[in-house]
Chains A and B, each alone.
Chain A
Amino acid sequence: MKKENSKIILTGAIIGIAAVILVALGNPKNMGFCIACFIRDITGSLKLHNVEKLQYARPEIFAILLGSFIIAKIKKEYKSTGGSSPIIRFVLGFFIMIGALVFLGCPLRMVLRLGGGDGKAIFALFGFIAGIYSGSKFLGQGFSLGRTYKIEKNNGYIFISIISFLTILSALGVIGNLDKTTHAPFIASFTFAIIVGIMAQRTRFCMVGGYRDIFLFKDFKLFYGSLSLLIVVLIGNIITNNFSFSITMTNAIWFFLSMGLVGFAAALAGGCPLRQLILAGEGNSDSIITIIGMIFGAAISHNFAIASSPTTVNTNGKIAVIIGLLIISAIALIITKQKKEELKKLGL
């Protein structure tokens, strides 16, 4: 096994272990280590939505940003950049969150749900892969959000500072609803997440990239990471007696379409929610805008009954997913058409 591959397999495994242990320590079951859920709860901590049990600026997000930030600084990969289609990225982040909250989970949690025996997540996985396949087709034909530029270096420090501030206020109970939001102890969440942040920065771990690179380049490196995550969660859940297999066809089409939306939008945005956080830690303002789009998406989802509950997919959720797929398709088609002409001029 190549050294590069063993590192990404280890990263996937550590995310899996973190998820299983954080659930055992108090994180909601199978939320474990869901980036979309954590971001939604940050949104709630600011009362941008009013679901009382989803209001806590989870330390996992701050710690992932910090881990990536520190290791990027040490490895001299930290660079304040921005200016690559910020508003399109905002829209992509928005719909990534809409899709994730209709399915109830980001790509990480989808794998965690699979590993817990939730058969409905299989439909989501198929949708996710179909979405990434569509995104990859456009990328292969030249889709790009345009180049990024070096920007004033302090830009890169602002987002992580804001998140650290919110995290402290929330942990102290000044903002949010710490008592009603189920959570693992601060120190446990923080420790696991900073390790994940460091390892994911080094290995470029990405749930979307795993499939995208197979479709585009037959490169399996990133895929091994998500495979190892699934295997570890499966074993972990069996050991801790959290595995129970069930499957129904109810809403299967909506799980397929909602994660299809996540896969499609995230492929165009250059990575899954975890990867966006890692890039944000490296000083990438484009990814920060994507995350802010996700925060906005979380607020809209909960304020307008778009987010699903564990038992039902709401009509508004279904409408939002369809609108999302149409808008993302339009973005992909229009930009790819323009980029193809540019590439032709370059003789590619």
Chain B
Amino acid sequence: MDIKKIDARGQSCPIPVVLAKKAIDKNPKKLEIIVDNVAAKENVTRFAKTMGYNVNIEENDIDDIILKIEK
């Protein structure tokens, strides 16, 4: 199954969390969200955890932060 990927780069809060919520409402097993600012990283991570998901964070050298969200 394809992993749902959401590009939330350049979006400031609360938009990345709104996008995460819309995706998580469909109850996926896995989900990837790319953000590019620390506030978005913190907020999406906090939200995903309260929804019972684990979050792995990968950062690359061009400021992209990939949040791998998994049940």
Interface residues of A (CB under 8 A from B): 75, 77, 79, 81, 84, 139-140, 142, 144, 147-150, 204, 209, 212-213, 216-217, 219, 221, 270, 279, 284, 286, 343, 346-348
Q: How far is the CA of A139 from the CA of B13 in the complex (A)?
A: 10
Asked if B10 and A221 make an inter-chain contact with CB atoms under 8 angstroms apart, the answer reads no
Report the count of interface residues on B (CB-CB < 8 A): 23
CB-based contact A139/B14 at 8 Å:
yes
Provide the residues of chain B in CB contact with A209, threshold 8 Å.
13-14
A144 touching B11 by the CB < 8 A rule?
A: yes
Knowing A139-B18, A219-B50 touch, does A148 contact B10 (C-beta < 8 A)?
Answer: yes
Q: Is A216 a contact of B21 with CB atoms below 8 Å?
A: yes
From B42, which residue of chain A is reached at the shortest CB distance?
A204
Distance from A291 Cβ to chain B, minimum over Cβ atoms (Å): 15
Least CB distance from B8 to A in Å reads 9
Choose one: B9, B14, B22; the contact of A212 (CB below 8 Å): B14
Q: How far does the alpha carbon of A144 sit from the alpha carbon of B15 in the complex, in Å?
A: 7
A149 to B63, CA, bound (A): 12
Bound CA–CA A216/B23 (angstroms): 14
Smallest Cβ-Cβ distance to B19: which chain A residue = A348
B10:A217 contact, CB within 8 angstroms: no
Tell me, rounded to whole Å, the shortest Cβ–Cβ distance linking A138 to chain B. Answer: 10
What is B's interface to A at a CB cutoff of 8 Å? 4, 6, 9-15, 17-19, 21-23, 37-39, 42, 46-47, 50, 63
Smallest CB gap from A346: residue in B: B6
In the complex, what distance in Å separates the CA atom of A285 from the CA atom of B12?
Answer: 13
A216 touching B37, Cβ below 8 Å: no
The residue of chain B having its C-beta at the shortest distance from the C-beta of A216 within the complex is B14
Chain A residues near B22 (CB, 8 Å)?
A: 343, 348
Complex: how many Å from CA A55 to CA B6? 47
Contact B18 A142 (CB under 8 A): yes
User: How far does the alpha carbon of A279 sit from the alpha carbon of B38 in the complex, in Å?
Assistant: 12
| CB atoms of A147 and B11 under 8 A apart | yes
Query: Which residues of chain B are within 8 angstroms of A77 by Cβ–Cβ distance?
Result: 37-38
Q: Which residues of A contact B38 (CB under 8 A)?
A: 75, 77
CB distance from B65 to the nearest CB of A (A): 12
Q: Say yes or no: A213 contacts B14, CB within 8 Å.
A: yes
* CA A16 to CA B4, docked complex, whole Å: 44
A270 near B12 (CB under 8 angstroms)? yes
Give CA–CA (A209, B21) in the complex, Å: 16
